[in-house]
Structure 1
């Protein structure tokens, strides 16, 4: 028997291909927005074109044009095509950044697809309604929803309560875990926590506060007054640093008795650290007033109580139990 000829309507194929291109473009655009990657319309068009070409081949093979339908619908093919789309849209990217972009891409794709399916079964919408729901989901994630999620995660994962103790006095504030803070005390190599002047100024004797302000302003004449103080001579630190727009700077600091942070529901006490005093606000919105060195939190949360570099850690769980980190020889 003769097989019936395959009929492919060009207008239908063009419409579906156009919709595929639109969805692929929006997915790549949203991926760039969420991942804060540079946007290039030409590169997005190229990536979307690859996705659309795959869709056309998939559509034709599913209607008997060629015999590769099984390959086009296979999961490895989907992964390979999406990878090519991401490379075309965002190259050159390090492998780690590309993997992160792939995670964003799949998350947005699944979320938008889920929105379309939900609109069909929950609301009874047709194809046009499903498409609108999917596009709306992409836009919400890119422009609104993801920003809210990121801010929530940022607040939860990177903001910790910080207590600085000195001579029996305490100063309490909010600190940001700053992965870019790699400052170390040049004398002993202790990590530096940067804290705003207004937070720790009250921990210092009144007669030494003017000297501190002078030094923060660049006048090093106040060093002699700090060194003349018997209690402060061994506590005082001058920390060199480099930052954008300032290759060589000096940060005034001191060695506190202890610093306590609240991380993952635990009060973690750190000793052997140095406080660097920032004369300017660290956050215009005031959501944090200190920058926590990442090595400190990593060491504090490390199991087994191993010694971390040159400082000692002790943790006190919030339920009232107390455990002390052992010191490795």
Structure 2
């Protein structure tokens, strides 16, 4: 039995689905990547899928490994920049969960819409349905609501990071009593390249395995916290510099939740600042 395959249509369908899945995963993992990179990951996934489909290989297990191993890993590495190891495996698992959810929504709606021309509109609608389902899941998961994207502004530079909103972070400046967030040293160096902070202050802290210590801190121009479809702008927040790794979940900043109370919530609009 022979089938006719329209490669252009097949490519567009795969590109649409791959891009939607990566966009959903960006939300789920709060990955600090732009949508241009996600589109690149979708294009790569669709291209490799087309190549594998027309590949004259009759070994089923070889194509199975490529489909479920190589292609997905390439998409995750290219589209979201996930690192090898635990982070990549976690993204791979969530990608399949999203695939099942998205496939279920498409199958349910497809029985009422038989026209193939509405596929792309249906795919976009399915994205928002699955995003809503995912938010409901995160609503019952305290850990899921703790992660967000942040854009930190200092001088003419800004840096997009993954952050943890830590209710256990009660650091405050002893003089101004302002809440203090924490950023890893590598991100601070990248952000302050070419312009050094004018004034440092030192924040005392206590942690497990170390009775006490101090961290240098200075004021950023602004932090923009991207959460639940909104951008919360916090002007001139205090940020301490941590010389050690912040955690094993690949986040670069710990947000003191007290700064959210003083933030200004705006609609989800793109920043006009120059990106690093």
TM-score with structure 1 length normalisation?
0.42
Q: Which structure has the greater CA radius of gyration?
A: 1
Could you say which structure has the greater relative contact order, defined with CA pairs below 8 angstroms and 6 or more residues apart?
Answer: 2
